Structure 1
Amino acid sequence: MRLSILPYVLPVMLSVLCAVPARAVESFSTDGAATAGVAPAPRHGALYRISHEGRMGYLYGTIHVGKPDDTLLAPEVAHALADASALVVELDIRSNDAFQLALARHGMYADGDSIVHHVSPATLRQLVQALARAGIALHDVERYKPWLLGNLLQGLELDRNGYRRSAAAEYVLLAAAKQQDKTVRELESADYQLAMFDALDGAQQEQYLRENLADLEDGHALKRSRDLIDAWRAADTLRINAALRQFTDGSSVNATFMQTTLLGKRNPEMASAIERILQQDRVAFVGVGLLHLAGANGLPQLLRQRGYTIEQLY
Structure 2
Amino acid sequence: MLKFTTLIYSLLIMVVLAGCASNDSTSLKNEELNEQTDTEEKVNETALDYDGDGGYLWKVVNGETTMYLLGSIHLGHEKFFPLATEIEEAFENSDVILPEINMFEAEVDKEKINKMALFDDNTTLDDVLSEEFYAKLSDIFEAHGMPVETFNHYQPWFVEGLLADLVTKQSVLTPEYGVDLYFLKRALEDDKEIVDLETIETQYEVLSGFSMDTQVQVLESYIETYEEQADWLNQLGYNWVHGNNNSNRDAFVKQLSDRLESVDKEYKEEFNDTRNINMANKLDEILQNDSGQTYFVYGRFCTCCD
**What TM-score do you get using the length of structure 1 for normalisation?**
0.74
Question: 1:121-154 deviations in whole A, cap 9, x for unaligned?
Answer: 4332222112112331224333321112123213
Q: Select 2:294's aligned residue among 283, 286, 311.
A: 283
Q: Aligned residues, how many?
A: 262
**Paired residue for 1:70?**
80
Equivalent residues of 2:172, 2:234 under 8 A apart: no
Question: 1:235-288 deviations in whole A, cap 9, x for unaligned?
Answer: 2432222122221224x43xx355322221111111111122343571110011
**Paired residue for 1:241?**
253
> Does residue 1:264 correspond to 2:267, yes or no?
no
* Cα distance in 2, alignment partners of residues 259 and 211 from structure 1: 14
**Paired residue for 1:165?**
175
Distance 1:281 1:244, change over 3 A: farther
* Cα distance in 1, alignment partners of residues 202 and 56 from structure 2: 26
Amino acid aligned to 2:281: S
**Paired residue for 1:19?**
11
Equivalent residues of 1:84, 1:283 under 8 A apart: yes
Equivalent residues of 2:173, 2:237 under 8 A apart: no
* Cα distance in 2, alignment partners of residues 175 and 64 from structure 1: 14
Deviation of 1:98 (Å): 2.1
Amino acid aligned to 2:135: R
Q: Select 1:82's aligned residue among 84, 89, 92.
A: 92
Amino acid aligned to 1:226: N
**Paired residue for 2:234?**
226
Distance 1:213 1:121, change over 3 A: same
* Cα distance in 2, alignment partners of residues 120 and 169 from structure 1: 37
**Paired residue for 2:39?**
none
Gaps of 5+ in 1: 1-9, 22-40, 299-314
Question: 1:178-202 deviations in whole A, cap 9, x for unaligned?
Answer: 1211111111111211122212212
Query: Larger relative CO (CA 8 A, sep 6+): 1 or 2?
Result: 2
**What TM-score do you get using the length of structure 2 for normalisation?**
0.75
Deviation of 1:16 (Å): 4.9
> Does residue 1:53 correspond to 2:63, yes or no?
yes
**Paired residue for 1:7?**
none
* Cα distance in 1, alignment partners of residues 176 and 148 from structure 2: 27
Identity across the alignment (%): 17
Deviation of 1:231 (Å): 1.5
Distance 1:265 1:136, change over 3 A: same
Gaps of 5+ in 2: 15-50
Superposed CA RMSD in Å reads: 2.7
